Structure 1
Amino acid sequence: MHEFLKFVKRLDWTLLLAILAISILSLMIIASATHANNGQYSFVIKQSVFLLVGLCAAGVLTYFDFHLLDKYAKIIYVVNLVLLVIVKFAGTSALGAQRWIQIGPFTLQPSEFAKLFMIICLARLLSQHPEGFHTWKSLLPVIALMGPPFVLVLIQPDLGTSLVFAAITFGMLYVSGFSMKIVKQIMAVFVVSLPAIWFFLLHDYQKMRIRVLFDPNVDPYGSGYHVIQSKIAIGSGGFFGKGLFAGTQSQLNFLPENHTDFIFSVVGEELGFVGAMFLLFLFFIVLYRTLLIARNTTDRFGSLMAVGIMSMWLFQVLINAGMTLGIMPVTGIPFPFMSYGGSALVMNFMCVGLLMNIFMRRQKLLFE
């Protein structure tokens, strides 16, 4: 009992309480956004189950030595690729994308877990190169590692998760000593490649989403409909909002995907500017504590994993909140801990457990 209390005392309670607050707020907003459709709160019940599973997964990942992940990184990488290949050939489809594996009554989205798996594998690779990455040749191992899962996710198609991979890679490379000269060269190559990307890589619906970013009225009843309704919802919320269960855009189903991709719009409509800023403040605490964990640990592998998690969360929050405001393209990237979805929620709590593990093991006396 004494050891357990000592273990609990060493947790980063600021980070944990902020994440639990976001998760509780998520259940409230999901209940509000979906109750009018079924009247039985089935989405809330399912998300609550996923929350409990996520907490259990976080507990497991908090307790064991995270250095075992370094040891088994190659196995993790192979498992990740196998799951993504299974999705390609035996996955289930929804909304024009094949991203899920059906397991009985549940669906598993391997691309969500791939984010964490690639953070672990990339942290192992980068930790073995303390000299940094200053030439294109030095980047070849990184490209070889991240390339296959990036392509497998991109062809699902899931451009949003592919972009998350890119954000994770850049964030971890940056703290590993990434040459800004190479960054400028990459940006130059990207700009030059834009015509080829537009005509040969992007699907028609992805092109329309980019057009909608500049003018939602170019397709007001198609790709632009989500953005138009989202901006109406957030704008109508005013300073204090209309109140839970009182939003018109979400309650009357004018706002599509109001419990998943556009859940931030529901927050803006029903809790107003104050509620939206409170949610973003909670996430600022989460990101700040994650940054402190990355900075304060002396273990390079652990620090890089924390940076990867922070890069993933920061990118997803910016893109998700931005697309609801019409300043980012609609990409289907969920809001961490808020959007409905079991795979994403469990994966994010696995990240929390890993952060707790890194936080506690910076104090070696606890485990001596």
Structure 2
Amino acid sequence: MLAKLKNIDIPIVIILFAFMIISTMMVYSASVDHPTISISITKILVLYAVGLLAFLGISLFDYRVLVRVAPFLYGAGIISLIAVYFFGAKIHGARGWFELPGGLTFQPAELVKLILIICVTALLARRGGDVLRLKRDVIPVSVAVLIPFILVLIQPDLGNAIIFIIILVGMIWIGNIKYTHVMFTIVILVGAGFLLLTLYKHFHEPLYLSLEKYHFSHWMDRIDTFLYPQNVSDDDSYQVRNAVRAIGSGGLEGEGFLKGTSVHSNFIPFAYSDSIFVVVGEEFGFRGSAVLLLIYFLLIYRMILISIQSTQLSGAYIVVGVVSMFVFQIFENVGMMINIMPLTGITLPFISYGGTSLLINMLSLGLVMSVKLHQEREPELF
């Protein structure tokens, strides 16, 4: 089994170590002057060490075994989402975490993203590359994703819920869906989007009052900050305004490591997690931000190559699912910090601080590497 490591994708490994260095620097800088949280370099490196071990472990494990037990994984994922709603801890307004010994927390929605990729792969692979049928393929796959989507949405965790839909869209697209179905879906979505936007604007006040009763009004605050910034209070637009100002102040070269004025004055909420890109932009400027995005591009490029070279459709589907997840998370996180996307609780992959997020990202990338390392005949399950 260890002989397989000779075929490991070295550029991806190098990229992971680059992420470790960048993340350590940025998280430390964002937390060193924080009034309530201080994250040591040792703690960051320990989390990365655990993540790298998980990456190697799943890389050596044959991903096709996971595809074959997909129904059991799906059932476990749904149970975890139901359980966390009733027994989970409430953090930042969402009941989406299990409290673990030692002050640790675990967010099952993060793990369900990976489970959904495996389950959708299992469903799509049954067609063997043939055109997907609407009733027998597209609708069942969509329903399988819709169930956890709703469970995560009511936590409420809009960010991870949207990622479920992005994974579905990306994988169905590569799964050979009919173009007529694509065009029909686009027409429906555009029409529905226009209708919802009109209704949202017309019934804004009663809708806000209704959502406020169920503690979901913060969704509208974030949407208003993006669509109607002139109508929101300074408190509601505080994070976005300060993020844009901080990134702009970085200019071309940045203010320098540990010299970010906005970050170290604690004007940026969650600078060590969701807003970590602000730290990059302010302290290393446009050049540093461009380098980080280039590294992401290289990672996506290497994963797409693995997908193209996969000898089995299930492997290609899995890689596309992971790529869809990463691309959206990167685009959404960076976009919300420069005010071209609505504000959500989506972290920047491999850079933001968060044990669960980093572990799932490492497992996801390990699953991609497993596709590269296991190209031989499919093994027996038992």
TM-score (norm 2): 0.89
Give the secondary structure class of the aligned counterpart of 2:46. helix
CA distance in 1, matches of 2:37, 2:239: 26
Amino acid at match of 1:103: L
Q: CA deviation at 1:180?
A: 3.1
Corresponding residue to 1:96 among 93, 97, 100? 93
Match of 2:34 in 1: 37
Corresponding residue to 1:243 among 248, 253, 256? 256
Q: Deviations over 1:269-309 (max 9, x none)?
A: 00100100000000000000011111110111111000000
CA distance in 1, matches of 2:20, 2:96: 24
Match of 1:340 in 2: 353
Q: CA deviation at 1:16?
A: 1.6
Question: Which ranges of structure 1 fall in alignment gaps of 5 or more residues?
Answer: none
Amino acid at match of 2:248: G
Contact 1:296 1:362 in 2 (8 A): no
The more displaced of 202-211 and 65-74 is 202-211
The more displaced of 60-69 and 196-205 is 196-205
Give the secondary structure class of the aligned counterpart of 1:93. strand
Matches within 5 A, 1:1-368: 4=2, 6-37=3-34, 41-42=38-39, 44-104=41-101, 105-129=103-127, 130-136=129-135, 138-194=137-193, 195=195, 198=200, 203-362=216-375
Q: Deviations over 1:157-215 (max 9, x none)?
A: 11111111111111111111122332333333334444558466974322221221145
Give the secondary structure class of the aligned counterpart of 1:37. coil
TM-score (norm 1): 0.92
Q: CA deviation at 1:38?
A: 5.8
Give the secondary structure class of the aligned counterpart of 2:105. strand
The more displaced of 16-25 and 134-143 is 134-143
Question: Which ranges of structure 2 fall in alignment gaps of 5 or more residues?
Answer: 378-382
Give the secondary structure class of the aligned counterpart of 2:90. strand
How many matched pairs?
361
Q: CA deviation at 1:44?
A: 4.0
Amino acid at match of 2:10: W
Give the secondary structure class of the aligned counterpart of 1:333. coil
CA distance in 1, matches of 2:159, 2:300: 21
Contact 1:47 1:341 in 2 (8 A): no
In angstroms, what is the RMSD of aligned CA positions? 2.1
Q: Deviations over 1:47-83 (max 9, x none)?
A: 3222122111111111122111122111111110111
Match of 2:380 in 1: none
Contact 1:19 1:282 in 2 (8 A): no
Q: Deviations over 1:315-349 (max 9, x none)?
A: 00011100100000001111100111111100010
